[in-house]
Amino acid sequence: MFGDFGDFEKFVIEKMREAKVPALSVSVISEDETKYSRGFGFRDIASGLPATPRTIYGIGSVTKSFTALALMQLADEGKVGVQDEVEKYVPLKVRPFGEPIRIHHLLTHSSGLPALGYAEALIRGMTGAEDNWLPISSPDDIIAFMKDAESWAVSKPGERYFYLNEGWVMLGEIISRVSGLRYEEYIRKRVLEPLRMSRTYFSKVEVEREIDKATPYIVDKDGKHISSAFPYGISSDGGLLSNVKDMSNYLAMYLNRGQFDGKTLVSRKRLESMEASHIKLPYEFLEGESYGYGWRITPGFHGCKLISHAGSVGVYKAFAGYVPDKKIGVVLLANPSEYTLSHIGMYVLSQLMDVDPNTLPFIRNDVILSKLQGEYETYMGTMKINIKKRGDFLFFEMRDKYREQILPLVPERLGENQAMFFTLSEGGRYPVEFNCKKDTIELIYERYKLTKRK
């Protein structure tokens, strides 16, 4: 199981190159042991400093699982119940369609409120991505911000999944009010210290004291790396900064059913309620995915349940995932990336389960789309067009001195030898066909046949 990581390392380097990722650190865990860890790339480009397993990055929404864990600890102690109404603890009377929001609804993103965009506005404002300034620095500010949110509701609580960062700020405030400690202090005392996560922080002062930390970057539309800033102030919904060594201890606790180093942090019953499927996701990487308490649940990952979560704060990205039945897990932390870290995480977990990662649909499709990229020409080079991959789509691009035509190609059927797409032009729907031959790739579009230049 834990042999050669060469194929995985090659895959990581390829994706970092394609997505212009400055730095990435990874750790692979089995039961309570780290089996593999290393850093790739530069934690600081200007200084040429390499990434290591100790490099600190923001973990974004992976923080939500820490918040959920804290609530499970308080539930174990009888201090809070997941079916308690939120307004019992915080002065926020928001009742979508007349129904009270319960802690369970916030834990599962099922309050009935669609995203209000506070975190997105805060991150984009603090990193300079746009001028839409939103000065929110505390849960009290969020309570004021959400005063009229009831009018924004789409469904009753419990009916639909809408990712709601604001709800997790409320959960952090509930933890503070029930425990008598500031949220950050509670997490430090009750989670970080027992797990020996001594280099995991919420504050800028603590992070700035560290030498081995990743510079927060923005990758602009031209692919340039621009030094930026971490959006401090976000807390219980996405404010932790950590490293893969510390995060390995965190996953080890889950793999050992709530225990670490002889101590019980949470009961097995409460931990497994975090891993239960509480509400179906309206979108999914793999079939049948749902949300638990602070974790995404994938029931059919090579015949096993995968528990995972991704995180992003613009300048950093993260992924943490584990397979309880196999007692394996992986943590990935990176500077900004246009490539989804969960794909890299599922790649290495597949290898650990002795399954070819290329059988994962998003990995297979990405390989096919990448292969189809390039310059194509008609008979004797009379016309030339470019096929470019952007995310999950290909784009047909034809330019001359006076005009340009750019058409999105929407995938319909992707195979190794033939790939079918469609595009819309002049009010019509046009099929686009790629045929992979032994020596070249043919493109059939409208009246034209084109071949890929070598």
Instruction: Summarize pLDDT for 135-170 with one digit per residue, the tens.
Output: 778 888 989 899 999 999 999 999 999 999 999 999
The residue type of 446 is E
Residue 25 has pLDDT above 70, yes or no: yes
Please give the full DSSP string across 154-167, using - where no structure is assigned: -S-TTTS----HHH
Q: What is the 3-state secondary structure (H, E, C) of 99-140?
A: CCCEHHHHHCCCCCCCCCCHHHHHHHHHCCCCCCCCCCCCHH
Cα angle vertex 277, ends 324, 167, to 5°? 110
Q: How confident is the model at residue 400 (pLDDT cuts 50, 70, 90)?
A: confident
Instruction: Summarize pLDDT for 222-260 with one digit per residue, the tens.
Output: 888 999 999 888 799 999 999 999 999 999 999 999 999
pLDDT at 309: 98
Q: Which two tokens stand for residue 452?
A: 């890929």
- The class level of CATH for 368-452 reads mainly beta
What is the chain's percent helix, strand, coil content, to nearest 5?
A: 30, 30, 40
Q: What is the separation of C-alpha 385 from the centre of its chain, rounded to a whole number of angstroms?
A: 34
pLDDT at 69: 98
CA 385 to CA 405: how far, in whole Å? 10
Of the chain, the end-to-end C-alpha distance in Å amounts to 39
Average pLDDT, stretch 321-342? Answer: 94
Instruction: Summarize pLDDT for 213-225 with one digit per residue, the tens.
Output: 999 998 888 888 9
Residue 97 has pLDDT above 70, yes or no: yes
* Strand runs labelled E in 230-365: 241-242, 259-260, 263-264, 279-280, 290-291, 296-301, 304-312, 317-323, 328-334
Residue 336 has pLDDT above 80, yes or no: yes
pLDDT at 220: 85
388: number of Cβ within 10 Å: 15
Using CA atoms, how far residue 131 sits from 125, 128, 135, 228, in Å, is 6, 7, 12, 15
pLDDT at 2: 59
**Nearest 10 degrees: CA dihedral of 110, 114, 116, 118?**
50
Domain residue spans in the chain?
A: 6-359, 368-452
Is there a shared CATH topology between the 6-359 domain and the 368-452 domain? Answer: no
pLDDT at 138: 86
pLDDT at 290: 97
Asked whether 239 and 63 are in contact (CB, 8 A), the reply is yes
Q: Give this prediction's pTM.
A: 0.93
Choices 3.40.50.10090, 3.40.710.10, 3.40.50.720, 3.30.479.10: CATH for 6-359: 3.40.710.10
pLDDT at 313: 92
pLDDT at 192: 98
Q: What percent of the chain has pLDDT over 90?
A: 83
Residue 3 has pLDDT above 70, yes or no: no
User: Which helix H or strand E contains 419, and what residues bound it?
Assistant: strand 418-425
Residue 28 has pLDDT above 60, yes or no: yes
Averaged confidence pLDDT in the chain = 94
